[in-house]
Copies of this chain bind each other. A is one copy, B any other.
Amino acid sequence: MPFAFRDVISILDYSREDLELLFKTTDKIRELLEKKSSLNYLDGKIAALLFLEPSTRTMYSFQTAVYRLGGKALVFTSEQATSLAKGENYADTIRMFDSYSDVIIIRSKYEGTARFAAEIAEKPVINGGDGRHEHPTQAMIDLYTIRYFFGRIDGLTIGILGDLKYARTIASLLYGLTLYNPRKIYLISPGVLRLREEVRKKILERNLPITEVSRLDEVIEELDVLYVTRIQKERYPDPIEYEKVKNLYKITPETLTKVKENFKILHPLPKIDEIDPRIDNTKYAGYFQQAKLGVPLRMALLLLVLGLWR
């Protein structure tokens, strides 16, 4: 029972077998959803969605997961949080939702928020993203999506492009990949946005076969999967430097002329302009399917965490 009544804080807390259980449950949920638009496992249950940092994707994806399971949601957003009695003890806010709900999903721009909430709450806490730290459910979705497209993760060559320094989804995805045996992981980014040392250390300890490169065109032909995140101009120390490199990291139809037959692009979304919209309707675009798979995966996770699946 690796999930039942346990908090979901970091993907590093799980083994490959744990993830396989989650993925098989997701497969089963998807089958059930083909027959019926909602299930009723969460009838009478309440999820607290505490989104202290603005978010739409993750929030509505979880809310949809709760609804498709027959549950109800208490939604607490950053807009409401700012109108809180100034200075209320954060721990007391968690205690309040803990006493109202059956499970707490929390997102915050501060690292460690989810773990702190988990220490206070009696109910299970799911990390919906904490600062630039981790976003475990996104990594679960990313891995499940690769498995969905290729039937496996082992043996694949995966490029990860963009803001490797600040994107929490990338840290969590890399941690998750250490549980598998990909052939090669290319980390593609300009020098200033390379992996943070703490992340690099953890994945090297776990023998992930990473290679750091600066240019996508050097490796694109080898890739089975390209995972794209956005490079934010603001992160660049020098705007002129940014202008010089930015086009190296944009995905256009031209970028894709020599890719493999089954090549897929993933992206945690929202995307801005890092992927040319002309790619959206090609067979290479895996990101919309990835977003869609988020709902059954989060349904599976909620069921396992609440001990409602057998």
Q: Which residues in A have some Cβ–Cβ distance to B below 8 Å?
A: 36-40, 43-46, 54, 56-57, 60-61, 63-64, 67-68, 70, 72, 74, 76-80, 83-85, 87-89, 91-93, 95-97, 99-102, 269-273, 277, 288, 291-292, 295
Inter-subunit contact A269/B96 (CB<8 Å) = yes
Can you list 5 residue pairs at the A/B interface with Cβ under 8 Å?
A46-B64, A56-B76, A64-B101, A79-B83, A87-B273
A54 surroundings in chain B (CB, below 8 A): 80, 83-84
> Which residue of chain B is the closest to A40 with respect to CB atoms?
B44
Q: Give complex CA distance A54, B74 in Å.
A: 16
Inter-subunit contact A291/B64 (CB<8 Å) = no
Inter-subunit contact B67/A84 (CB<8 Å) = no
Q: Give complex CA distance A288, B46 in Å.
A: 19
> Which residue of chain B is the closest to A86 with respect to CB atoms?
B272
Inter-subunit contact B57/A64 (CB<8 Å) = no
Closest Cβ–Cβ distance, residue A227 to chain B (whole Å): 17
> Which residue of chain B is the closest to A48 with respect to CB atoms?
B60
> Which residue of chain B is the closest to A99 with respect to CB atoms?
B292
Q: Give complex CA distance A77, B79 in Å.
A: 11
Query: A271: which of B64, B88, B101, B295 is its contact (CB, 8 Å)?
Result: B88
Q: Give complex CA distance A60, B214 in Å.
A: 49
The 5 closest A-B pairs by CB, nearest first: A38-B44, A54-B83, A88-B270, A64-B100, A67-B72
Closest Cβ–Cβ distance, residue A275 to chain B (whole Å): 10
Q: Give complex CA distance A61, B88 in Å.
A: 17
A67 surroundings in chain B (CB, below 8 A): 46, 72, 74
A88 surroundings in chain B (CB, below 8 A): 270-272
